[in-house]
Structure 1
Amino acid sequence: MIELVEELSKKYKVIDILSVLEVPKSTFYRWKKEYTNREPNKLEKLIINLCEETNYHYGHRKIKALLKDRCNIPVNRKTVQGIMQKFHLLCQIKVKRQKYINGESNIIVDNILNRNFKANRPNEKWVTEITYLPYGSSMFYLSTIMDLYLIRISQKK
């Protein structure tokens, strides 16, 4: 589109070309500004390299801090944000895990212990705890199983 208008502008006025194409003048100039192939400047190259180096895990605030720490370049956070948006250097968004489960559990287990956690012999009472560990976009589950008799012995010492 931009090339077409540039080519036709040698013969016709840009405004006339845009009116025939039914493209607003401001839209054309915005497109032209965004899609001009120019070489990135020194700061832009540094930001691109930092994003590639960190595998696009950091956002504009962290990249700004890295510029200050590593390169001694104090730069405004909004400048870094604008450059990252210009070159489509988006950080990977960490998926937030669900804090609660909708609905009720299908399995309801009777409370056999009734908070009586004292065991008189081994293998009499066992308890478990499940911990959820988010890892990237997946979730790992860590389940520990304990014999309450062994806990009682370790507390006596």
Structure 2
Amino acid sequence: MAELPQKHRVSVSGVLKILGVSRSGYRAWKQRVPSVSEKHRDHIKDAIKQIYDGSHQNYGAPKITEMLHRQGESIAEKTVGNYMRQMGIKAQWVKPYTVTTIDSDFNSELQNILDEQFNPSRPDAVWVSDITYIWTYNGFVYLTSIMDLYSRKIIAWVLSQSLEAIHVVECVNKAKQMRNVTSPLVFHSDRGIQFVSQAFQKVTEGMINSYSKKAYPWDNACIESFHSLLKREWLNRFKIFDYKH
């Protein structure tokens, strides 16, 4: 049996000589106490990691900075971003795309009553709605949501396997039942064919229908931002089976 090679021990003196470091300098380095700024930096990095892990790796520098401010830390977003790069962590971001708006072709007749006034003075004064897609192993499904613009709360939602208007109607009926709405309110959406159908007009009778300008998502920014956040931070990060399975 062949003999195993002997392990060679490397002396500290030899390494210091190769590195050009004096023994006294090495001893001083070993005995050095971390400075206050170094301790604070390590403390901040630990806090960043805790917030990041607590968000399931979703939060980036802006949100982590906000959370640190809530904890009483005074730190700039740029510094948080630099620390995150040093730590090798970043917010998750997945952004696939598919079309969910089927243009209704009633551009001249549909009016934007809301006009980007996103802060109504009372609940149930303005509802906004949008349809987004969700990828699953069995193909796309579609999420229709209705938000009360006063509280930014989702008051009704429906999952479907098609973009038929009947699913928007179902969502509107759920919202009406949830809020027991009797007085007229503004209902804002994009110009998708689902939102101009006869069935939609009937279910929103007594409401004031408002529509975003064509190819201008900022008119319905609140609920579109919600759907974007929902997918970016949760749905697009996981492989999802069809919701009926």
Question: Please, what TM-score do these two structures have when normalized by structure 1?
Answer: 0.45
The higher-RCO structure (CA 8 Å, 6+ apart) is 2
Question: Please, what TM-score do these two structures have when normalized by structure 2?
Answer: 0.31
Larger Rg: 1
